[in-house]
Structure 1
Amino acid sequence: MGKSRLTTLDALKFSRHDFLNELQLVLMYIDLGEPLKAKKAILNATNDIRQVSMLGKLGLPETEQWISTFSWMYTAFQTKLSCTIESGVRKVDDLAVASYLAYVFSDIQELLDASFEYEASIEVRATSTDWLIDITIQGPLIEKQQLPKVEKGFHVEETILKNLWKLTISGN
C-alpha cells in the first residue's frame, strides 16, 4: 500500500532494488545462453529510465516526483510509463496536481481486489502550451466513488468501463 511521500532514503533503496533486479534478469538470460533476451532486457530497462528522465521537461517537479515514484508507492500495480514532452511554462499549481493525484490514488487503493494483478499505464504528453496526464488502470475496482472537484486551474476527466478506469488530468 502507498505512503503519502517517500523519503530520499526510501527512494534510493527502491531504485537500487529495481536496478539490481534488472541486472539479475540480464545475468539470468546470459547464463541461459539467451543473448537476444538479455539485450532486450537491457533495452527495456534503458527505455524505462529514459521515460522517467523525460518527466523533467514537464516543469512540474511535485507531479514528476509523484509519477516517478508511483510504482514504489502503489505496489499493487504493474506500471508502464510513456512520455512525449516538450519543454514549456505550465500555468498550474504543481503541488495541487500532485496532491490531487495522491488523494485520488489513496482512494483507489481501497477499491483493489488483492487477488487480481492490476496494470497501470501512465502517459504524459506536453507541448509548449498544454499538458495532459492519462492514467489507465486495468482491473476491477469495487464501488468506485465520484472524483473530487478540482479548484486549482486544471481539468479532470474520468472514464469507467468494465475492468478499466481512466483518469485524464490536463491544463496549460
Structure 2
Amino acid sequence: MEHNEISVNEILRHLMHDYLNQMHLIQMNIDMGRTDEAKQLVRKYSQKCSQFFDINNVGLCETNEWLQTASWIYKNLTIEVNATLLNRGAEKYDSPLKDYLERFVEAIYPLLRGYQEQVLRVHLNSNDILEIQVELNGEWSSYTWIDESFKGLLRVEKEKNTESQIKFKLFASE
C-alpha cells in the first residue's frame, strides 16, 4: 500500500484531536463522579507518554515515529505499544525494525476484513538484548508471513500463524 508522507500540520491535527478526546473522557468521568476511572485514564495516558520517551531513549526513534502514526495511515488497524526498555544502544536496529514492521503491515493490510477489530500489539523489551514481540489479532484472508530479511541484525522466531492471529518475535543479534 502506497501512502503519502504526513505533514507536520496533519500530525499536529491528529495529536490535538486525540488530546481533546482524552481530556473529554477524563472530564466526563469526573462529571459523573467516577474519579477512580478518571485517575486510571490519567495513569494510562501518562504511561503512554513515558513509553514514547523510553522508546526514543533506547535509540528507536524511526520505529517509534512509525508506531505512533501508523494507525493514522492504516485506519482499520488499532496499534497498541508496550515497552520495557532498560538498555540503550539500539540505534543500529532502528531503521531495519521500522522497515520490517511497515512491510509486515503493508502485506497484511489489504487482506484485513474491515468489519472486525484488527489489533496489532508490539512489545519492545531490552532487559538483556533487544526483543520485539509482535501479535496481530483480527480476521484476514489466509496469509503466511515469510519476510526475514535482516542481514544478520535481527532473528525472527515465528510463534503462530492462523486466519485470526499472527505472532512472532524479533531478537537482536547481539
What TM-score results when the alignment is normalised by the length of structure 1?
0.85
SS at match of 1:166: strand
Larger RCO (CA under 8 A, 6+ residues apart): 1
**Per-residue CA shift, 1:58-113, capped at 9, x if unaligned?**
21222222222233333323332211112322373532221121111111111111
Q: Which residue of 2 aligns with 1:14?
A: 14
Deviation at 1:120, TM superposition (A): 2.1
Q: Distance in 2 between matches of 1:143 and 1:162?
A: 6
Cα contact 2:58–2:91 (8 A) shared by 1: no
Q: Which residue of 1 aligns with 2:171?
A: 170
| 2:103 alignment partner AA | Y
SS at match of 2:26: helix
Q: Distance in 2 between matches of 1:143 and 1:31?
A: 47
Q: Which residue of 1 aligns with 2:130?
A: 131
Equivalent residues in 2 for 1:104-115, closer than 5 Å: 104-115=104-115
RMSD of Structure 2 on Structure 1 (CA): 2.3
Cα contact 1:121–1:135 (8 A) shared by 2: yes
Cα contact 1:2–1:74 (8 A) shared by 2: no
Deviation at 1:5, TM superposition (A): 4.3
| 1:116 alignment partner AA | Q
In 2 relative to 1, CA 70–134 (structure 1 residues): closer, same or farther, beyond 3 Å?
farther
| 2:69 alignment partner AA | T
SS at match of 2:92: coil
Specify every segment of 5 or more residues in structure 2 that has no aligned partner in the other structure, as ranges: none
Cα contact 1:2–1:75 (8 A) shared by 2: no
Identity of aligned residues (%): 22
Q: Please state if 1:88 is matched with 2:88.
A: yes
**Per-residue CA shift, 1:103-161, capped at 9, x if unaligned?**
1111111111111012222100013x621111211112212133223143212233214
Cα contact 1:119–1:139 (8 A) shared by 2: yes
Equivalent residues in 2 for 1:1-172, closer than 5 Å: 3=3, 5-90=5-90, 92-127=92-127, 130-152=129-151, 153-158=153-158, 159-161=160-162, 163-171=164-172, 172=174
Cα contact 2:119–2:138 (8 A) shared by 1: yes
Specify every segment of 5 or more residues in structure 1 that has no aligned partner in the other structure, as ranges: none
Q: Distance in 2 between matches of 1:169 and 1:4?
A: 28
Cα contact 1:117–1:139 (8 A) shared by 2: yes
